[in-house]
Structure 1
Amino acid sequence: MPSGINLTGYERVWEEPVFSSRITIKKIKEVKRAGFDAVRIPLALSYLLKQPNFERELRKLAEASIQLDVQVVIANFNHGLSEEDLTQTMETLSQNWERVLQIFPANQGNFYFELANEPELSPDTWYKEVNRLVPRLQQIRKDIPFILGATNFNSLFELSRMQPWSLEGVIYTFHYYEPYLFTHQGTAWTGPQNSTLDIPFPFNPSLMPKIDSRAKGTPGEVNYRDYEKTGNSIAIEDKIGQISSWARRNGVQLWCTEFGVTQNADEISRKNYLEEVQKVLIQHQIPGFVWEWEGNFGIKNLKTEK
Structure 2
Amino acid sequence: MPAMPRFPAPLRQALATLLLAGAALVPHAAMARKPASLPMATCINLGNHLDMAHGGEIQHNRLGPADFARIKAAGFDTVRLPVNWSSHSLATPPYTIDPAWFARVDQVVDGALHAGLKVILNSHNFEAINTDPVGAQPWFTAVWQQIADHYASRPRQTLWFEIENEPKDALDNANLVTTFAPALAAIRRHNPNRPVIIGGEKWSNVTSLATLNLPDDPQVWPTFHYYEPFAFTHQGATWVSPSPPQGRAYGTPADLARLPVDVQRIKAFAARTGKIPLMGETGAFESIPTDQRIAYYRSVFKTFRPLGVPICVWAYTNTFPFFDAHKGQWIPGLRGAISLPETSPKR
Following superposition, the deviation at residue 181 of structure 1 comes to 0.8
Q: Contact between 2:53 and 2:87, CA under 8 Å: does it hold in 1?
A: yes
Partner secondary structure for residue 308 of structure 2: coil
TM-score (ref. length: structure 2): 0.73
CA contact (8 A) 1:65 1:71 kept: yes
For 2:333 and 2:54, the matched residues in 1 are separated by: 30
Q: Separation in 2 of the partners of 1:288 and 1:18?
A: 26
**Which entry has the higher C-alpha Rg, 1 or 2?**
2
- Say if 2:263 is the partner of 1:240: yes
Does the Cα contact within 8 Å between 2:45 and 2:80 map onto a contact in 1?
yes
Q: Any conservation in 1 of the 2:63–2:108 contact (CA below 8 Å)?
A: no
Contact 1:174 1:258 in 2 (8 A): yes
Would you say 1:17 and 2:66 are equivalent positions? Answer: no
SS in 2 for 1:98: helix
2:221 maps to 1:182: no
Structure 1 partner of 2:211: 161
Instruction: Give the aligned partner of residue 247 of structure 2.
Output: 198
Q: 1:136 aligns with which of 182, 186, 206?
A: 186
Paired with 2:209 and 2:128, the residues of 1 have a C-alpha distance of: 19
Residue number among 296, 299, 311 corresponding to 1:276 in the alignment: 299
Kindly tell me: are residues 55 and 189 of structure 1, through their superposed partners in 2, closer, same or farther at Cα, counting changes over 3 Å?
Answer: closer
Aligned partner (choices 24, 36, 51) of residue 76 of structure 2: 36
Aligned counterpart, 2:46 = 7
Shift of 1:257: 0.5
SS at match of 1:4: strand
Counterparts of 1:82 and 1:274, CA distance in 2: 32
Give the aligned partner of residue 67 of structure 2.
Answer: 27
**How far 1:47 sits from its partner (Å)?**
2.2
8 A Cα contact 1:80 1:89, kept in partner: no
Indicate conservation of the 8 Å contact 1:157/1:243, yes or no: no
Structure 2 counterparts to residues 89-238 of structure 1, below 5 A: 89-104=136-151, 105-120=153-168, 121-192=171-242, 194-195=244-245, 197-203=246-252, 228-229=253-254, 231-232=255-256, 234-238=257-261
Which blocks of at least 5 consecutive residues in structure 2 are unaligned? Answer: 1-39, 90-96, 324-330, 340-347
Q: Is the 8 A contact 1:101 1:140 kept in 2?
A: yes
TM-score (norm 1): 0.82
C-alpha separation in 1, matches of 2:59 and 2:288: 31
Cross-structure match for 1:214: none
Report Cα offsets for 1:54-109 as digits up to 9, x if no partner: 32333344443333221100111121234664344111111111111223234441
Q: Which runs of 4+ in 1 moved over 4 A?
A: none
Mapped contact 1:112–1:146 kept (Cα < 8 A): yes
Note the C-alpha offset of 1:243.
1.7
SS in 2 for 1:262: coil
Specify the alignment match of 1:220 in structure 2: none
Decide which moves more: 173-182 or 121-130.
Answer: 121-130
Identity across matched positions, percent: 21
Q: Would you say how many aligned residue pairs link Structure 1 and Structure 2?
A: 279
Amino acid in the other structure paired with 1:4: C
